[in-house]
Amino acid sequence: HWFPRHISELDLIANRTLDAGTDLEADHPGFRDVEYRQRRARLAELALNHRMHHAIPKTEYTTEEVKTWGLVWDTMENLWEKYACKEYMKSMNLMKKHCNYHRNAIPQLSSISSFLQIQTNFRLRPVAGLISSRDFLNGLAFRTFFCTQYIRHPSKPLYTPEPDICHELLGHVPMFADRDFCDFSQEIGLASLGASDEDVLKLARCYWHSVEFGLCRGEDGKNKAYGAGLLSSFGELEYACKERDGVGDDDGNDNDDDDDEKFVEVGEDSVPTRPVIKPWNPAVAAMQDFPITTYQPVYFLAESLQDAKLKMRKYCEDLPRAFFASYNAQTDTVHIDRPVRRTVGVPGSDEPK
């Protein structure tokens, strides 16, 4: 499989969107809102015209968009104090201080990206919409996060069927101010370069169960969230982290994984009354399917972000790979340990992607 070797080649994959940010499904809250769709189209155009190493253009958000942002912020703020991991809280304070994070304005990607580059050598790159798992993970190899800029429809400010600016900036971005988390994310990205479709799927599942919905043990022994899907969702954050008597914790025995999920209680709304929480094991997470539009029935709990990173690194090292890749931050280039030909899925070619 073709893969980028220099950070500038991310421009070749960033616009291979699965949707253009405007191709809304009929059940999307903004499907019938012409003005909202036109706004999404303008933001998509800005992302499609962006290039790496160019300054990210400033986005002027409307009063209504800022109001939506503020509603999400107000709903999440107390829940972060209760359920977010310490690394998130420390990083959020940094974002407030350096990146104009507050309820009354949507922060600019340009200032956030500049701060992250100084703090952890991570950066943001605007995209118009969802891209494939392979392309998205390839970006992480270069310590680059592909980030949407549109916001959810104002009719449902606490719901979004796809990643939006609230999910990205409130869920993902603060964690990129933490070096262990950045290194963890890059481990997944480097392993995705040139990987088989089967291994990309495994890595995407690991990403989902960690970067999106991961839990870690807090200093008080309670479960805390570091996954963006939890840190940007008021309902699921509490569902995943609140204390229960005899929560469906896995005992760590991988042989009884299926049994743990057979006996999950389900409420009237078809949402399990309690999730199954398994110890973080990338080999198990790589085989764990997940729903996209409902609460997760299974979460993975790491002892710490350091623990999550080390186990992910070991898993990636054990994957069957045609080569091993490392990142040179001075040249923004990926070095591989043997000669390879990048032939399948070349961007812009007629070959399969």
| Catalytic residue annotation | 167, 172, 212, 232
What does the alpha-carbon distance between residue 80 and residue 96 come to, in Å, rounded to a whole number? 14
What does the alpha-carbon distance between residue 178 and residue 184 come to, in Å, rounded to a whole number? 10
- For residue 196, the SS3 value is coil
List the alpha helices (DSSP H) in 129-253.
133-141, 165-166, 179-192, 197-207, 228-231, 234-241
Q: Which residues lie across from 237 on neighbouring strands?
A: none
Q: What phi and psi, each to the nearest 5 degrees, are found at residue 82?
A: -90, -40
Question: Helix %, strand %, coil % for the chain, to 5?
Answer: 45, 10, 45
Residue with tokens 């479960």: 223
Distance of CA 27 to CAs 21, 30, 58, 270, 319, Å? 15, 8, 31, 19, 39
